[in-house]
């Protein structure tokens, strides 16, 4: 999938541009340093999705020029999966844990990426979930169905936990996502004795505040990591791609569980991020990190300011 010139791309030019505003080359896609907080964006591989998974609810005649502009296939999309690793003091924090081996054949590479940074599963002190979709949660358990991050404490939004642990969810989520509900409940049950819950606006760790970004899932959370006047927003999937989610955030997307609410969330968040020029880390954004710019015809994702 070719990317537009303004995207934060791999390679020497992209890395040099990234270094100019706080991203540094290395084993991770990008590194953001905020005071004593270091954030590394590492890969869990990628997904292969039918284009209709995102595009089906959209007006197809208006969608076509966006697909052409970003040189996308309307049939198959291959979004990256980017996990955020935060190190601050004695804390080693993962925001989401990737797919593990059971969801997608070209995903589940998180442990290899962490090894390149000399981080082992036993080093992780905290795991924070944006939401409980498979590509964010199913890497939780090892081959023996024990928690892989054996020394970690876990955190998830209260609304998200309540939704996935509701026994009725498997029957109401729809056939296409029923396996998501079964898989989420099985994994979350394994950590229910060591998980804490939070709500919108709470500081869940020093310098890390939860931001409600509901819609993609009923309790989806983003996280604002701040040191003084500098901040970065870990988006999860509330802004789920670098193309149509920016060009037409008001459109309903097939990837969202509550499509209308998710669109409202995207528009409001993009407005904030563009106005504040806050760095963003997105789970499915190319190279993981960049900025939001607002133009006369929508928004763009860029690694340049």
| CATH hierarchy code of domain 12-302 | 3.60.15.10
Using pLDDT thresholds of 50, 70 and 90, give the confidence band for residue 30. Answer: confident
pTM of the model: 0.90
Q: What percent of the chain has pLDDT over 90?
A: 86
Give CA–CA dist 248/250, Å, rounded. Answer: 5
Distance of alpha carbon 222 from alpha carbon 212, whole angstroms: 6
| Mean of all residue pLDDT scores within the chain | 90
Write out the DSSP string of 124-186: --EEE-S---HHHHGGGB-TTSSBSSTT-EEEEEHHHHHHHH-TTHHHHS-GGGHHHHHHHHH
The domain segmentation of the chain, as residue ranges, is: 12-302
Q: pLDDT tens digits, residue range 63-108?
A: 999 999 999 999 999 999 999 999 999 999 999 999 999 899 999 9
Q: Where are the alpha helices (DSSP H) in the chain?
A: 12-20, 52-55, 60-69, 110-116, 134-137, 158-165, 169-172, 178-189, 244-247, 259-276
pLDDT in tens, 218-258: 999 999 999 999 999 999 999 999 999 999 999 999 999 99
Residue-wise pLDDT tens digits, 190-229: 999 999 999 999 999 999 999 999 999 999 999 999 999 9
The tens digit of pLDDT for each residue in 176-193 reads 999 999 999 999 999 999
């Amino acid at each position: 999938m070719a990317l537009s010139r303004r995207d934060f791309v791999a390679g020497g030019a992209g890395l040099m541009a990234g270094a100019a505003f706080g991203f540094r080359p290395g084993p991770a896609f990008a590194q953001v340093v905020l005071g004593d907080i270091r954030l590394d964006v590492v890969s869990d591989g990628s997904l292969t999705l039918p284009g209709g998974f995102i595009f089906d609810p959209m007006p197809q005649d208006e969608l076509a020029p966006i697909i052409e502009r970003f040189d996308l296939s309307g049939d198959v999309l291959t979004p990256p999966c980017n996990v955020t690793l935060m190190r601050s003091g004695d804390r080693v924090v993962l925001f989401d844990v990737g797919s593990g081996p059971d969801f997608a054949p070209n995903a589940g590479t998180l442990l290899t990426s962490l090894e390149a940074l000399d981080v082992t599963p036993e080093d992780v002190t905290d795991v924070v979930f944006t939401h409980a979709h498979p590509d964010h949660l199913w890497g939780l358990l090892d081959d023996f169905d024990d928690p892989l991050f054996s020394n970690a404490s876990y955190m998830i939004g209260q609304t998200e936990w309540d939704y996935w642990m509701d026994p009725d969810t498997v029957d109401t989520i729809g056939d296409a996502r029923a396996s998501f509900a079964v898989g989420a409940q099985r994994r979350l049950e394994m950590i229910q004795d060591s998980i804490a819950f939070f709500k919108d606006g709470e500081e869940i760790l020093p310098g890390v505040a939860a931001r409600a970004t509901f819609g993609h899932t009923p309790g989806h959370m983003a996280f604002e990591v701040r040191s003084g006047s500098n901040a970065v927003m870990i988006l999860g999937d509330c802004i789920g791609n670098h193309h149509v989610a920016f060009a037409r955030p008001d459109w309903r997307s097939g990837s969202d569980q509550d499509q209308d609410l998710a669109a409202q969330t995207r528009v409001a968040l993009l407005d904030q991020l563009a106005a504040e020029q806050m760095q963003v880390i997105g789970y499915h954004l190319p190279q993981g990190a960049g900025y939001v710019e607002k133009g006369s015809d929508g928004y763009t994702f860029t690694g340049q300011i």
